[in-house]
A = this chain, B = another copy of it.
Amino acid sequence: MNLPAVASDSPRVYLAGPEVFLPDAEAVLARKKAICARLGLVAVVPLIDAPAPAAEDPMKRAFAISAGNEALIRSCIALIANLTPFRGASADAGTVYELGFARGLGLGLYAYTNDPRDYAARALERPDGLDIEDFGLADNLMLEGGIAAAGGVFVRASAAAEDPWRDPGVFETCARAVSRRLAQAITAAR
């Protein structure tokens, strides 16, 4: 894979998202890495940047992937999460775990969703008798609350309808915000 060169002192950011489940996940992730590189960010991602675990046993392999991703996140100063709803009313569980993990570590948190609707609008589609939180947020309040507490940015916008999982438009808007923020922070620290 040919990726643009990035200065080795560029900020490392982890890209969390359910695009790892696309049949062409590596190509989609490589395009996102290239977008970040043009913005002066070193994006690291599962599958490409975490070493492939050799374990044959499925559970050992799963835990090795988890450990690899946790180590990658620990190596970064910020995380960009794709919080587009996935297999239910909320974002992908792995992505949400990684967002919380990054918050616990004190990383910068940035996120986007390709579905700008409120959480309540989606949850109401399948009533279950339990309360539906309705604060005008895109998902459970812990997610956007954590992003806000970390001083981050959350972009809610529609992706191109014909292929929302592969349209990089909303991601790029978010990555530009990350680039601007981190450049300001680095300038301020000098």
Interface, chain A (partner B; CB < 8 A):
18, 20-23, 25, 58-59, 61-63, 65-67, 69-70, 86-94, 96-106, 123, 126, 128-137, 139-146, 148-149, 165
Contacts and interface: CB of A to CB of B under 8 A. Distances in A.
B135 A62 contact: yes
A131 B23 contact: yes
A150 to B, nearest CB: 10
How many copies of the polypeptide does the oligomer hold? Answer: 2
A134 B62 CA distance: 9
Contacts of A94: 140-143
A188 B30 CA distance: 48
A149 B66 contact: yes
B87 A126 contact: yes
Which 3 A-B pairs rank lowest in CB-CB distance, beginning with the nearest?
A88-B88, A104-B104, A66-B145
A47 to B, nearest CB: 11
A102 to B, nearest CB: 7
Contacts of A137: 59, 62
A52 to B, nearest CB: 14
A8 to B, nearest CB: 26
Nearest to A136: B58
Contacts of A135: 58-59, 61-62
Given A97-B96, A101-B104, A87 B18 contact: no
B21 A131 contact: yes
A134 B189 CA distance: 45
Given A62-B137, A94-B141, 8 more contacts: A21-B133, A62-B135, A62-B144, A87-B89, A87-B128, A91-B93, A101-B103, A101-B142
